[in-house]
Amino acid sequence: MEDAPQLLPLRTQHQRLRNGSLSARELAESSIAAYHRRGAHDNAYLTWNGDAALAHARAVDEVIAQGGDAGALMGMTVSIKDIYAVTGLPTYAGSATRLGGEWERSGPLVRELLSHLPSLMGKTHTVEFAFGGLGSNAHWGTPRNPWDIHAHRTPGGSSSGAGVSLMSGTASLALGTDTAGSVRIPASMTGVAGLKTTAGRWPTERIVPLSPTLDTPGLLARRVDDLAFAFDALDNAVSGRRDRVPEPPSLSSLTFGVPEQFFWDACSPGVAETVHDAIAQLQAAGARIVRLELPRTDDAYALFQQGGLAAVELAAFLNDSLPDVLSRLDPNVMARVRAADTTSALDYVSRRKLIEALSAEARATLSQVDAVLTPTVAVTPPTLDSLTPDGAYGTANMAALRNTVMANFMGLCALTLPVGRDSQGMPVGLQAMAAPMQEQRLLAIGMSIESLLGTGDKVLGAPPEPL
């Protein structure tokens, strides 16, 4: 699998597709082979689209041979989270019910992605209505974290199949969403890179909503450089901006803020140590490391424990648009949705005001540094068996989400990249958070970090093959 072409950097794939040393057919066939080798084990996809993707890839090769070029992502293999509407494919949003109607007509982000003519390998699993950080799903089964072939560990959620699709070799780029960490958690837990965009930068039309206030589309890929390549390919068309990811800055020109409070609390063995070591390497390479606390993290976390905005906004959407699914919700999702019943209109408005205040204070704080560095996820991916006792799921879910939700509540963009393994041998992510609408700068910084520490292939190696 190490020689599989879909594991090559996206820039390399782009060059080879153009010079004829790689074909879209070869990429699709390699992804299909990976699916047949690992698909049943990893369970990344709700809807597998391999046959159609292969036929599409053959047609793309004909277009390339005639000098056609539909865009930077042409011919590459991609997966899309099953919360995005995609014309011609069903959408369940992790529920037991096919949503139909408008949820089977692509929105602007998917239309732009598909206009490049990539090979869409399928739609990946999600936590039901994206409401959870571990990746479990009672209706369709939980994708398996590929780094543990003995115990079934969670892959992170809610974009639970996205990271697995990359690490198992069935896609080179994955489209996910992030409302409280749903791109960064699965990226961190499966050992890939992930980007959470600023709320409002990319359109959310025809993405089944969890929290319209906080929902953000995002990207997962094997490298930060891949994220930067894909971001540049999509951003101008969907955001209306004209800037691009700049050249990576020298580490000696950067100042990183590192909080000493909150983000390091209750880390699983090996998590804090691995992230501290990564930060020490950055400092040794010339980066300036300063203590910097994000404002009112305790207030933000208390708000999250109360349900934040997502519980109320999801409950409103389901009651208005999909009332028939309420009685069939995953019990873990149902419990959180029902909590919204006790939230008054005054409580909701107060929560909105707090998030606005947190965002304003965070923007002022971030002006002092280039980025804030923390562990992405404080805990090792739990086994499914460990989540069965009463209360265990809720405790583990909060632990997985606690570090990532701060960027959402504070209106920031954020990035995660793999930096090593914890004491259980599971991937550990370094989170970098930056001011709103600074995605290009953040990606360039992430590329500088990656150039020093190495890509996931270097720091993690390859996941074991299924038994």
- Contact by Cβ (8 Å): 53, 77: yes
* 321 counts as catalytic: no
Which is the catalytic residue, given 182, 188, 239, 268? 182
| Gap between the Cα atoms of 110 and 458, Å rounded | 32
- Contact by Cβ (8 Å): 167, 457: no
Q: What is the DSSP letter of 249?
A: P
Backbone angles phi, psi at 268, to 5 degrees: -65, 155
* 168 counts as catalytic: no
| Gap between the Cα atoms of 114 and 173, Å rounded | 12
Alpha helices in 367-438 (DSSP H): 392-401, 405-409
Which is the catalytic residue, given 79, 119, 136, 158? 158
Q: Which residues contact 294 (CB under 8 A, 6 or more apart)?
A: 259, 262, 362, 365, 372, 406, 410
- Contact by Cβ (8 Å): 429, 156: no
| Gap between the Cα atoms of 272 and 263, Å rounded | 9
Report the amino acid identity of residue 240. G
- Contact by Cβ (8 Å): 85, 104: yes
- Contact by Cβ (8 Å): 282, 449: yes
Q: What is the DSSP letter of 138?
A: T
Backbone angles phi, psi at 309, to 5 degrees: -100, -20
- Which of 181, 149, 150 shows the shortest CA–CA distance to 167? 149
The Cβ of residue 306 has, within 10 Å, a number of other Cβ atoms equal to 13
- Identify the residue whose tokens are 């069903």: 90
Alpha helices in 285-344 (DSSP H): 297-305, 310-321, 331-338
Which is the catalytic residue, given 23, 30, 31, 81? 81
Helix (H) or strand (E) segment spanning residue 122: strand 119-124
Structure tokens at 67: 């000098």
- Contact by Cβ (8 Å): 159, 126: yes
- Contact by Cβ (8 Å): 326, 393: no
Backbone angles phi, psi at 191, to 5 degrees: 85, 35
- Identify the residue whose tokens are 């028939």: 324
- Contact by Cβ (8 Å): 215, 209: yes
* 353 counts as catalytic: no
Residues acting as catalytic residues: 81, 158, 182
